[in-house]
């Protein structure tokens, strides 16, 4: 089962190092990690998607992340109404007769042409898991030169108290 | 001009003094030189112990921390010095011991250039520390040191490393020791009421249990909860068993104490755990060395886990009720809501198991050869059971746990989680700086002593009042035992030679004694105890002795190989 965790941590050199070291050491099965700055200066936000069938181990992952000194809070978005998005860049090689077909696909949905030359084109796909997978699938029938996935970002809908991270400090 | 500025080096010492540090174990080198230079100013406040290896420094800080309950401090230079600390940090991490390691780093402009003796130590030790710092700005130095101490000692204690570039040590800055209490990102998991419902559930489970057992762990010592655990045990008439690091948490002589659990635990204890209908785990973490096969571990029991670290709950063994918090505080809430209970049938059954092996034990036999168990049992008797014992890793460690009966908390120091050979001698030296008036005995194998034997020089230099008992069986005994049991007695690379320990002692400048028969033991111990300073006693023991009982790794906890009946008692048994 997939578990989506949103981490809030101190923007310190080495903090990503600590997360990846923990993941490695505890042998967690990670599907994707994305991190970036937030609306608050000094706080980095990370979305961690974990693929761990064992319930006890999932709780263990959560608790171990919380144990890191640099981590303010971890919000488990797995069971929340939550938007999970991924961004994909794909470079495909083109034969002249295929261009038309692709343009149809692009018009159809969540896919955008970023770059085009006589031999290949870069496409941008973004959306939730199923949209992304579906588009990649369709485009895979062309010759894929490069594929790049950003990893998943998650944001919980609404403004509920229980999903608010604890972003202040306290005495240890 | 009025001088209110201090160098980074001076700030380090000032901060240490304010944290209550009076002894630092370390080894100098280029990148930490400014800090050693500044030491002249602080010699009246801090005693620096020059060790012979940085690993020794970390174990000394560890031994000091384990007996004193204070934070131990070790210091080293960059690169190789820092790298030598990794084993000590990992040892402290596994056993939740608060130590601080301060390392010098190459100057900031050189960082990242593979400069001479450069190593990213704060990155390298991430997996084996509670936290690590690289101080890139002198403005943060004092705050960082203060934070490091707070992290090391709070919650579940553990080691912290602070790496300080050489140019930060020599830079000047206004020294203001931060007054405000340290605050760290996030909510303190312990900063909340102990869950009432879980307390009630725990009380209900205890009230209905017929075959309860308390599992006593290291957390009892860390929390200072011995009194409360005994109260719990007596009020509920609950027998208890301890983990290696929980030795002494409850007096060995207490009627309800069944002895150690686990791989080399007592038959009665392991049997009771397997047959129990309730386990109350107090400050322990269900390590594989105490559970054996988790799939068959105590299947009929409900489990209550009282533990300060939430990440330990349900990690190895699923539990029914979890009480997260400081053990002492939790028990103070739990005990008043319990009823007095009597588990006479259960206790009687356990008493029967207990009696089974005791009287036929090797320590009661009159043997030609000397046995490790006899040596340790006799040291226990001759020291009236109130020495501080520092054991190393191997057969002798397990024999110590079985035969030295600790009645007081914090009187056994040993590397449990990591099982670090070479721990005992330096850890004992460290402990001697806190326990000036107590006997400290090192119980160490001929393999383990040779890992850190260089620290004999430190012991002599400091006139550390420690007595070193080498149990010399000519083998890496514990490994040999496994080879005998599981590898058809192919003793590859386990016979190990030793120097002449008596001559070696002389060369180092301490007294050395060799003992080869049992009657010599009390004499040697007396001689050793009457010397104020380090003494080494080598006990030449039976080479092929085994440690029993034993649960083979990964086997069911009650699938024990029991202690054999000694030849002398065989007829009497029949
Ligand atoms: C640093 C280190 N290396 C290797 C081991 C593996 N090991 C565990 S016990 C042991 C043998 C210890 O021999 P000795 O100190 O002579 O004690 P004995 O078992 O004979 O009592 C070894 C090699 C270890 N625990 N630590």
Per-residue pLDDT, A78: 92
Per-residue pLDDT, A104: 77
- Every domain of chain A with CATH number 3.30.70.1150 lies at 84-154
DSSP state of B475: B
Mean pLDDT of chain B: 95
CB-based burial of residue B46 (10 Å sphere; 0-12 exposed, 13-18 middle, 19+ buried)?
middle
Pocket of ligand 1 (CB under 6 A): B 392-396, 419-421, 445-448, 471, 473, 475-479
Partner residues linked to A143 by β-bridges: A93
What are the residue boundaries of the structural domains of chain B, listed by start?
A: 4-175, 189-354, 362-547
Task: Of B552, B509, B31, B569, give the one whose Cα is nearest residue B270.
Answer: B552
pLDDT exceeds cutoff 80 at B265: yes
Per-residue pLDDT, B411: 96
- B359 pLDDT band, cuts 50/70/90, is low
Q: What is the mean pLDDT of residues A27-43?
A: 92
Q: What is the mean pLDDT of residues B149-170?
A: 97
State yes or no: is B166 an active-site residue.
Answer: yes
Of B123, B187, B310, the CB nearest to A166: B187
CA of A111 to the centre of ligand 1 (A): 62
Whether residues B151 and A69 touch (CB distance < 8 A) is answered with: yes
Nearest CA in chain A to B122: A14
CA of B371 to the centre of ligand 1 (A): 18
Residue B258 CA: distances (Å) to CA of A50, B205, B208, B227: 43, 22, 22, 17
As given in the structure block, the two tokens for residue B197 are 């419902």
Q: Provide the percentage of residues in chain B whose pLDDT is more than 90.
A: 91
The tens digit of pLDDT for each residue in B28-47 reads: 999 999 999 999 999 999 99
Q: Taking the domain A84-154, which CATH number applies?
A: 3.30.70.1150
The tens digit of pLDDT for each residue in B199-227 reads: 999 999 999 999 999 999 999 999 999 99
Q: What is the mean pLDDT of residues B251-263?
A: 96
Binding-site residues on chain A for chain B (CB distance < 8 A): 9-10, 13-14, 17-18, 21-22, 25, 56, 59-60, 63-64, 66-67, 69-73, 166, 169-172
State yes or no: is B461 an active-site residue.
Answer: no
Q: Which of B126, B186, B192, B309 to mutate to test the interface with A (most CBs of A within 10 A)?
A: B186
Q: Is-contact B430 B61, C-beta < 8 A?
A: yes
Per-residue pLDDT, B358: 64
State yes or no: is B478 an active-site residue.
Answer: yes
pLDDT exceeds cutoff 70 at B360: no
CATH 3.40.50.150 assigned to B189-354: no
CA of B219 to the centre of ligand 1 (A): 26
Task: Respond yes or no on whether the N-terminal peptide bond of residue B456 is cis (omega within 30° of 0).
Answer: no
- B78 pLDDT band, cuts 50/70/90, is very high
Protein fold of B4-175:
Rossmann fold (3.40.50)
Lowest mean pLDDT among B207-216, B431-440, B469-478: B431-440
Which residue is catalytic, options B117, B450, B484, B529? B117
Per-residue pLDDT, B574: 42
pLDDT exceeds cutoff 70 at B172: yes
> In this structure, which CATH number among 3.40.50.10490, 3.40.50.970, 3.40.50.920, 3.30.420.40 belongs to the domain B362-547?
3.40.50.970
State yes or no: is B560 an active-site residue.
Answer: no
- Measured between beta carbons, the chain A residues lying within 8 angstroms of B315 are 56, 60
Per-residue pLDDT, B1: 44
Q: What is the mean pLDDT of residues B334-348?
A: 96
Residue to substitute in B244, B393, B446 for testing ligand 1 pocket (most ligand atoms within 8 angstroms of CB): B393
Mean pLDDT of chain A: 91
Q: What is the mean pLDDT of residues B52-80?
A: 98
Q: Provide the percentage of residues in chain B whose pLDDT is more than 70.
A: 98
d(CA B533, CA B51): 17
Encode burial over B435-473: b for 16+ CB neighbours within 10 A, e otherwise.
beeebbbbbbbbbbbbbbbbbbbbbebbebbbbbbbbbb
- Every domain of chain A with CATH number 3.30.70.260 lies at 2-81+157-163
Q: Is-contact B27 B76, C-beta < 8 A?
A: yes
In which region does residue A147 sit, left (phi positive, over 0), alpha (psi from -120 to 50) or beta (all else)? Answer: beta
**Number of helices (H) and strands (E), helices first, in chain A?**
4, 9
As given in the structure block, the two tokens for residue A59 are 């709780």
β-strand B23-26 against B72-76: which pairing, if any?
parallel
Whether residues A171 and B309 touch (CB distance < 8 A) is answered with: no
Of A63, A69, A169, the CB nearest to B310: A63
Return phi, psi of residue A4, to 5°: -110, 120
Per-residue pLDDT, A52: 87
Instruction: Tell me whether domains B189-354 and B362-547 share a fold.
Output: yes
d(CA B70, CA B435): 13
The CATH architecture assigned to A2-81+157-163 reads 2-Layer Sandwich (3.30)
Which residue is catalytic, options B5, B41, B43, B116? B116
pLDDT exceeds cutoff 70 at A93: yes
Q: What is the mean pLDDT of residues B147-171?
A: 97
CA of B394 to the centre of ligand 1 (A): 5
């Amino acid at each position: 089962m997939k578990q989506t965790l949103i981490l809030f941590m101190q923007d310190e050199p080495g903090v990503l190092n600590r997360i990846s070291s923990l993941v490695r050491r505890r042998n967690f099965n990670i599907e994707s990690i994305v991190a970036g700055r937030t609306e608050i200066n000094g706080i980095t936000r990370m979305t961690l998607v974990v693929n761990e069938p064992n319930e006890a181990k999932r709780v263990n992952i959560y608790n171990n992340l919380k144990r890191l000194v640099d981590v303010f809070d971890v919000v488990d978005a797995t069971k929340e109404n939550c938007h999970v998005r991924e961004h994909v860049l794909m470079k495909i090689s083109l034969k002249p007769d295929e261009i038309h077909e692709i343009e149809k696909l692009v018009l159809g949905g969540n896919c955008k042409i970023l770059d085009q030359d006589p031999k290949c084109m870069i496409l941008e796909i973004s959306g939730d898991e199923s949209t992304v997978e579906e588009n990649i699938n369709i485009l895979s029938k062309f010759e894929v030169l490069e594929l790049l996935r950003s990893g998943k970002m998650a944001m919980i809908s609404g403004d509920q108290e229980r999903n608010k991270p604890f972003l202040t400090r306290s005495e240890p | 001009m009025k001088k209110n500025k201090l160098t980074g080096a001076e700030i380090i010492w000032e901060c240490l003094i304010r944290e209550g540090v009076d002894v630092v174990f370390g080894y100098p080198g280029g990148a930490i030189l400014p800090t050693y230079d500044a030491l002249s100013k602080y010699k009246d406040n801090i005693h620096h112990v020059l060790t012979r290896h940085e690993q020794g420094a970390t174990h000394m800080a560890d031994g000091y921390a384990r007996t004193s309950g204070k934070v131990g401090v070790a210091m080293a230079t960059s690169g190789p010095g820092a790298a030598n600390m990794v084993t000590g940090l990992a040892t402290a991490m596994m056993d939740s011991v608060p130590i601080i390691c301060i390392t010098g780093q190459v100057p900031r402009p050189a960082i990242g250039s593979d400069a001479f003796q450069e190593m990213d130590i704060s990155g390298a030790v991430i997996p084996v520390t509670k936290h690590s710092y690289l101080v890139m700005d002198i403005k943060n130095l004092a705050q960082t040191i203060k934070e490091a101490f707070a992290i090391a000692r709070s919650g579940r204690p553990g080691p912290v490393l602070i790496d300080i570039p050489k140019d930060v040590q020599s830079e000047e800055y206004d020294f203001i020791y931060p007054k405000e209490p340290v605050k760290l990102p996030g909510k303190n998991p312990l900063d909340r009421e102990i869950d009432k419902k879980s307390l009630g559930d725990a009380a209900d489970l205890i009230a209905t249990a017929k075959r309860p057992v308390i599992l006593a762990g290291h957390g009892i010592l860390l929390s200072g909860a011995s009194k409360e655990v005994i109260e719990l045990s007596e009020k509920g008439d609950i027998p208890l068993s301890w983990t290696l690091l929980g030795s002494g948490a409850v007096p060995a002589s207490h009627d309800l104490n069944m002895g150690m659990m686990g791989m080399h635990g007592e038959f009665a204890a392991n049997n009771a755990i397997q047959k129990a209908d309730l386990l109350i785990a107090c400050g322990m973490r269900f390590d594989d060395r105490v559970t054996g096969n988790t799939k068959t571990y105590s299947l009929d029991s409900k489990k209550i886990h009282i533990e300060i670290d939430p990440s330990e709950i349900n990690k190895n063994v699923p539990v029914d009720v979890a009480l997260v918090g400081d053990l002492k505080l939790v028990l103070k809430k739990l005990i008043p809501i319990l009823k007095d209970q009597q588990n006479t049938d259960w206790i009687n059954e356990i008493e029967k198991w207990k009696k089974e092996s005791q009287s036929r034990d090797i320590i009661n036999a009159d043997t030609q050869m000397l046995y490790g168990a006899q040596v340790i049992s006799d040291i226990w008797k001759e020291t009236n059971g109130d020495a501080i014992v520092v054991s190393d890793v191997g057969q002798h460690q397990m024999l110590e746990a079985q035969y030295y009966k600790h009645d007081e908390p914090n009187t056994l120091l040993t590397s449990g989680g990591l099982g670090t050979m070479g721990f005992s001698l330096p850890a004992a030296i460290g402990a001697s700086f806190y326990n000036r008036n107590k006997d400290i005995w090192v119980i160490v194998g001929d393999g383990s002593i040779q890992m850190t034997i260089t620290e004999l020089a430190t012991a002599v230099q400091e006139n550390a009042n420690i007595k070193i008992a080498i149990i010399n069986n000519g083998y890496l005994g514990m490994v040999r035992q496994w080879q005998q049991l599981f590898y058809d007695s192919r003793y590859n690379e386990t016979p190990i030679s030793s120097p002449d320990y008596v001559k070696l002692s002389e060369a180092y400048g301490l007294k050395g004694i060799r003992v080869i028969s049992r009657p010599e033991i009390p004499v040697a111990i007396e001689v050793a105890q009457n010397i104020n300073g380090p003494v080494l006693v080598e006990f030449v023991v039976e080479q092929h002795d085994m440690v029993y009982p034993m649960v083979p790794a990964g086997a069911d906890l009650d699938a024990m190989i029991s202690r054999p009946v000694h030849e002398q008692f065989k007829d009497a048994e029949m």
